[in-house]
Structure 1
Amino acid sequence: MSRSTSERNAAPETTSVLVIGAGPVGLTLALELDRHGVDTLVVERNATTTRHPKMDITNGRSMELYRRLDIADELRKVAIPADHPMKVTWATNAAGWELASFEYPSVADAYEQIHRRNDGTLPLEPAMRVSQVILEPALRDALAARSEYVRVDYEWALDSFTEDADGVTAELVSGASGQRRTIRAEYLVGCDGAASRTRRQLGIGLDEIDLRRLFIKELGVVRTVMSVARAFLATGQRPADGRFYLVHFTTGDTEIHRRFGTVWHLQSPEGWTVISQNDGDTWTMHAPLGIGEDADKIDPREFVYQRLGHRFEMDVLVANAWTPRLTVADSFGRGRVWLAGDAVHQVPPTGGYGMNTGVGDAVGLGWVLAALLDGWGMPGLLRAYEQERRAVALRNRAAAGRHSLVRGAVMAASRATMHSERWFGARVRRRLGREISDLGNLENEALGIELGYRYDTSPVVCHESGAQAPPQRMDEYTPSTWPGARPPSVRLADGDAIFDLFGRGFTLVRFDHHDVAGLLDAAAERGVPIEIVDVRDPHARALYQRDLVLIRPDQHVVWRGDAAPEHPLHVIDRIRGAQPAT
């Protein structure tokens, strides 16, 4: 539709940051920008928040970041109640036999464990179970209730943009009315999902790992493929072709809870998972599609009945096919246009790394944009954002792929007789249960992935020479203040959480008195916000490993020492993206 003369001649609206996409990542970025007082417009092409369940857990690190934004308690009000434990159960089907279970504490019990242990090995906040269907409105409402600087407009999509040295001019179009509007922003951020129009206009490609080829390579090539095919054919099903079918539904049926207790995930060696979204009446099933199976001809109810093993009344909310992907963008942006969330990385749901990685992107990019707009940040911060977050995305992609391979290994086991009530059926079930228990459930236990990521090679971190960096493991988190790391979470002797003492700018945690006037003067000269927090707590000092630890706005260590730096101005210029320290 062509623009009217009045539309073409109207002066563009202006904002400091234009965010494309009001999913969890876009809304989290808006909350971060609001925290720093940045004028922001968020636009979303859909009429309202998502109807698709997508993610179902917000991990401990994301909850720490939401606590930092002062909304963690608000979000928990709409999540699964704090006294509900988490249980992952493998079974033949919903009316069949249990094969193996993995049980985890409730939020309330996890808080007690965190307080009792207090050794830096656990997050400050436990994970939170909540569907994206519920989380998105909660983030939107929290933003509306507190924001002085952010506006969210629905039913507006990005059509195109042009960039110049001073900013970006974006053309938006309304899907409802066809109206157009022009926005002039200093920065544009695409949080517009896997099919990101922003990324495509930038011409940024995707590095993708083919999950099916990964299965074939890692699980035994021909032998595994043939065993899976035989097992499917024995049950009258077609071998999977890499696609999945999602059915999001409500039901008053209690068979799953009656048979297995209150489960979070019920999983089958046949490849399907059914997720309890509220420990009550709302569920989501993901199940593999067979080769050549036409998703458009599937009856969602029959699809669920066949896999769960019994019939019941249900209301289908959403049903569609989807394909899991393991992708990371070749670049996270350039100049005045940047990307975050699914626009730059997509992973299968195993491990819950999709949205949670995006939350880290949003906070990491938000403080950087605020620093640039405030005048003390330099362009090196944006280069660092890409380097830091792309490395995390690659690491998390590898972890998600690993977790998917574990599920593939379970699918590759012989399942033809696991439903039998005869003696050999029981033998197959015992063997499957042992194999599942041996493979474990790292996808819900990988604290090393959630807490242990470090910006080891970041150009805005003061690196140490001559020392050995702590190990980085997927299955284990080692507390450390190694430059680039998230520092350990610990409660001080007076009960305060040390994370709660970190400010909006840089925080210098000082465990012993050292004269740091030179560092403060250098920060003042460059306009870098920095405050000192004096802590006299031997236990915290031992965990923090140095007398002085400098934390940046997103709660990562940028410098540490047992004395003030010899060249404080070089340190300040390094951490604000201006030049390397010497």
Structure 2
Amino acid sequence: MHDVVIVGAGPVGLMLACELGLAGCSVLVLEREPDPHTPWRAVPLGLRGLSATSVEAFDRRGLLPALLTASGMDAPAAYSEEDELAPPYAVGHFGGMMLDSADVDVAALPYRIPGPAPEFVMTSLAAVESVLSEQAGRLGVEIRRGAAVSAIAQDAESVVVHAGEHAYPARWVVGCDGGHSAVRGLAGFEFVGTEPQFTGYVMLVDVPDLESLRPGFNPTPTGLYLRLPADGHLGMMDFDGGAFDRSQEPTREHLQEVLRRVSGTEVTLTDVRLASSFTDRAMQTTTYRRGRVLLAGDAAHIHSPLGGQGLHTGIGDAVNLGWKLAATVRGYAPEGLLDTYTSERHPVAAWVLDWTRAQAVVMRPSPYAQATQGVVRDLLGTRDGTTDVFGKLSGWSIRYDLGSDHPLVGRNAPDLRLADGTRVGELLRDGRGLVLDFSADGSLRDATAGWEGRIRYVTGTARNDLGLAAVLVRPDGTVAWAADGGPDREAFEQVAGRWFGSPVLVNHTR
């Protein structure tokens, strides 16, 4: 019996597998598709963006150099703690309205300091999956492909996943099997939300008269089309109420008819190499856990790709769930720890769904939508507006409610650099929590004695401590506790127990 069976070997399932493997759990990944190498995962159709906090998740596990190499990017640039925080090189768009990264007020970003992790990485699904697959292999994770799940049965102690002629017993199962999740349906999760406004298309086509289509986002009186840098890589949106069923094959004639209508041109498609359709149907499960079955990524929430938040949100799910499920498997999780996965991540995805809904509204080809877009464009054109959007898209504005008034608690931890040059990101490589104690006498050393296997204790000084006396960082990089003055040992122990369970009794003179 495995500790955890993960269904789905995409980026979310593989990231979760790596987190669990790092914690010593036995993990089996079942993937329906027999071959991971498809054109839909490689450039250009597999292009995806990873935002700041997702990039830092790779850095914290030592995977950033491999990710950058696989994505065709340079190694992290050298930096100094005295460097000023530079504006991001890309912000993105809202409803096709591009934002200028120079308008981001970096001084307004909470607890943001320079570090080696880029604010944004343009990558591909193939690159992300290759990096994570290699890491999973190093950690002893088993991946079985060509295994389509057909049934799930669970009781109070275990769950059995059936795929083909095989049955796979486990203590826990996590569905990371995408928007059409078999696990979600088989386990009886309630899936609620809103129906679509449009049908979207992504295609790689041969277009002799490509110059008749303008580059970038192009809203029109009848829809929208997008011409991407790669020749023949096009996208379009047809506000038909999502009438084109994804189960239908988009023919060359259909795609040409829609493109001519939404572009207002007589463009010709001579060949369709690859094409797929999607809608802006926005749905979310009411909970991310039913008994011993959990969901992450698109299995738990679906939405249109507007804003590019799908991969980013799924990676966030995986790193949030991984250490909590590992603690539960290993038997030291405090009561209710696993339930905080839903309470923390469900609101994040709910916001993403609303974010994509709002973009669909302003992109509609109607006078009312165009009027609304004008108002939104003016707001986004301000420094405050651009900064707010960047904070949301990068993940830096996410703050879990952990019951503390300290402004850092619940946020992504700043990558503090110690006097010897060691960074917070490097100290989180082994998947344990982290205590940074900047007090002169190392006053929290004794308080952490019972949690050595779960929390790393580091004392000393930081080159930029941001006025902090001590900080406790969870394995997912979230700050669980922080003190500006002398560290309160009792307060620390209470918070540490909440997240890391009861300390192991040790023979230590206090």
Give the structure-2-normalised TM-score: 0.78
Whether contact under 8 Å (1:328, 1:344) holds in the other structure is yes
How many Å apart are 1:349 and its aligned residue?
A: 1.5
Residue 455 of structure 1 corresponds to which residue in structure 2?
A: 400
Is 1:372–2:328 an aligned residue pair? yes
Equivalent of 2:306, from 337, 340, 350? Answer: 350
How many Å apart are 1:344 and its aligned residue?
A: 1.1
How many Å apart are 1:316 and its aligned residue?
A: 2.5
Whether contact under 8 Å (2:59, 2:425) holds in the other structure is no
| Cα distance in structure 2, aligned partners of 1:90 and 1:329 | 25
How many Å apart are 1:319 and its aligned residue?
A: 2.6
TM alignment of 1:402-417, pairs within 5 A: 402-408=358-364, 411-412=366-367
Whether contact under 8 Å (1:55, 1:349) holds in the other structure is no
Residue 440 of structure 1 corresponds to which residue in structure 2?
A: 380
Gaps of 5+ in 1: 1-13, 92-98, 174-179, 212-241, 416-430, 458-462, 470-479
| Cα distance in structure 1, aligned partners of 2:256 and 2:444 | 67
How many Å apart are 1:30 and its aligned residue?
A: 1.4
Fraction of identical pairs, as percent: 24
Residue 486 of structure 1 corresponds to which residue in structure 2?
A: 412
Residue 506 of structure 1 corresponds to which residue in structure 2?
A: 433
| Cα distance in structure 2, aligned partners of 1:549 and 1:568 | 9
Residue 129 of structure 1 corresponds to which residue in structure 2?
A: 122
Is 1:47–2:34 an aligned residue pair? yes
How many Å apart are 1:486 and its aligned residue?
A: 1.5
Per the alignment, in what secondary structure is the counterpart of residue 447 of structure 1? helix
Whether contact under 8 Å (1:272, 1:287) holds in the other structure is yes
Residue 447 of structure 2 corresponds to which residue in structure 1?
A: 519
How many Å apart are 1:487 and its aligned residue?
A: 2.1
Whether contact under 8 Å (1:27, 1:139) holds in the other structure is no
Deviations 1:306-344 (A, max 9, x none): 544363666524334332122221111133211111111
How many Å apart are 1:192 and its aligned residue?
A: 1.6
**552 and 250 in structure 1: CA distance in 2 versus 1, 3 angstrom threshold:** same
Is 1:266–2:203 an aligned residue pair? no
Whether contact under 8 Å (2:199, 2:239) holds in the other structure is yes
**413 and 495 in structure 1: CA distance in 2 versus 1, 3 angstrom threshold:** farther
| Cα distance in structure 1, aligned partners of 2:206 and 2:114 | 36
How many Å apart are 1:55 and its aligned residue?
A: 6.7
RMSD between superposed Cα atoms in Å = 3.9
Whether contact under 8 Å (2:284, 2:350) holds in the other structure is yes
Per the alignment, in what secondary structure is the counterpart of residue 207 of structure 1? strand
Residue 456 of structure 2 corresponds to which residue in structure 1?
A: 531
Whether contact under 8 Å (1:489, 1:499) holds in the other structure is yes
Whether contact under 8 Å (1:329, 1:345) holds in the other structure is yes
| Cα distance in structure 2, aligned partners of 1:439 and 1:143 | 43
Deviations 1:213-262 (A, max 9, x none): xxxxxxxxxxxxxxxxxxxxxxxxxxxxx231313205587956x997xx
Residue 80 of structure 2 corresponds to which residue in structure 1?
A: none
Amino acid corresponding to residue 346 of structure 1 in structure 2? I
Is 1:559–2:481 an aligned residue pair? yes
Equivalent of 1:59, from 39, 51, 55? Answer: 51
| Cα distance in structure 2, aligned partners of 1:158 and 1:130 | 29
How many Å apart are 1:372 and its aligned residue?
A: 2.1
Whether contact under 8 Å (2:18, 2:139) holds in the other structure is no
Range moving further from structure 2, 322-331 or 81-90 = 81-90
Is 1:172–2:163 an aligned residue pair? yes
Residue 196 of structure 1 corresponds to which residue in structure 2?
A: 181
| Cα distance in structure 2, aligned partners of 1:329 and 1:268 | 32
Whether contact under 8 Å (2:7, 2:177) holds in the other structure is yes
Per the alignment, in what secondary structure is the counterpart of residue 380 of structure 1? coil
Whether contact under 8 Å (2:4, 2:171) holds in the other structure is yes
| Cα distance in structure 2, aligned partners of 1:259 and 1:267 | 9
How many Å apart are 1:283 and its aligned residue?
A: 1.8
Residue 299 of structure 1 corresponds to which residue in structure 2?
A: 254
Deviations 1:116-143 (A, max 9, x none): x9961688432122343x3454345434
Equivalent of 1:283, from 233, 236, 252? Answer: 233
TM alignment of 1:110-129, pairs within 5 A: 120=112, 124-129=117-122
| Cα distance in structure 2, aligned partners of 1:521 and 1:493 | 23
Deviations 1:188-207 (A, max 9, x none): 11112223222223222123
| Cα distance in structure 2, aligned partners of 1:299 and 1:167 | 48
How many Å apart are 1:570 and its aligned residue?
A: 3.7
**137 and 386 in structure 1: CA distance in 2 versus 1, 3 angstrom threshold:** closer
Give aligned pairs, total.
467
Is 1:15–2:8 an aligned residue pair? no
**201 and 294 in structure 1: CA distance in 2 versus 1, 3 angstrom threshold:** closer
Per the alignment, in what secondary structure is the counterpart of residue 76 of structure 1? helix
How many Å apart are 1:386 and its aligned residue?
A: 1.5
How many Å apart are 1:491 and its aligned residue?
A: 5.0
| Cα distance in structure 2, aligned partners of 1:27 and 1:62 | 14
Residue 388 of structure 1 corresponds to which residue in structure 2?
A: 344
| Cα distance in structure 2, aligned partners of 1:307 and 1:252 | 16
Whether contact under 8 Å (1:205, 1:329) holds in the other structure is yes
Deviations 1:273-320 (A, max 9, x none): 4263xx433624131153696665653244335544363666524334
Is 1:574–2:491 an aligned residue pair? no
| Cα distance in structure 2, aligned partners of 1:122 and 1:314 | 49
| Cα distance in structure 1, aligned partners of 2:207 and 2:420 | 48
Per the alignment, in what secondary structure is the counterpart of residue 333 of structure 2? coil
Per the alignment, in what secondary structure is the counterpart of residue 377 of structure 1? coil
Larger Rg: 1
TM alignment of 1:197-276, pairs within 5 A: 197-210=182-195, 242-251=197-206, 265-269=216-220, 270-274=222-226, 276=228
Amino acid corresponding to residue 506 of structure 1 in structure 2? G
Per the alignment, in what secondary structure is the counterpart of residue 148 of structure 2? strand
Whether contact under 8 Å (2:32, 2:145) holds in the other structure is yes
Per the alignment, in what secondary structure is the counterpart of residue 67 of structure 1? helix
Per the alignment, in what secondary structure is the counterpart of residue 357 of structure 1? helix
Gaps of 5+ in 2: 76-87, 504-510
| Cα distance in structure 1, aligned partners of 2:377 and 2:3 | 52
Residue 239 of structure 1 corresponds to which residue in structure 2?
A: none
Higher relative contact order (CA 8 A, sep 6+): 2
**287 and 560 in structure 1: CA distance in 2 versus 1, 3 angstrom threshold:** same
Deviations 1:454-500 (A, max 9, x none): 2205xxxxx33xx4x6xxxxxxxxxx422x22223455676654333
**517 and 194 in structure 1: CA distance in 2 versus 1, 3 angstrom threshold:** same
How many Å apart are 1:155 and its aligned residue?
A: 1.2
Range moving further from structure 2, 485-494 or 373-382 = 485-494
Residue 83 of structure 2 corresponds to which residue in structure 1?
A: none
Deviations 1:521-571 (A, max 9, x none): 3425xxx521122352363232xxx31110110011112233242266543
Per the alignment, in what secondary structure is the counterpart of residue 480 of structure 2? strand
| Cα distance in structure 1, aligned partners of 2:423 and 2:271 | 45
| Cα distance in structure 2, aligned partners of 1:356 and 1:64 | 11
How many Å apart are 1:104 and its aligned residue?
A: 4.4
Per the alignment, in what secondary structure is the counterpart of residue 337 of structure 2? helix
Amino acid corresponding to residue 446 of structure 1 in structure 2? F
Per the alignment, in what secondary structure is the counterpart of residue 272 of structure 1? strand
How many Å apart are 1:181 and its aligned residue?
A: 0.6
Residue 540 of structure 1 corresponds to which residue in structure 2?
A: 465
How many Å apart are 1:413 and its aligned residue?
A: 5.8
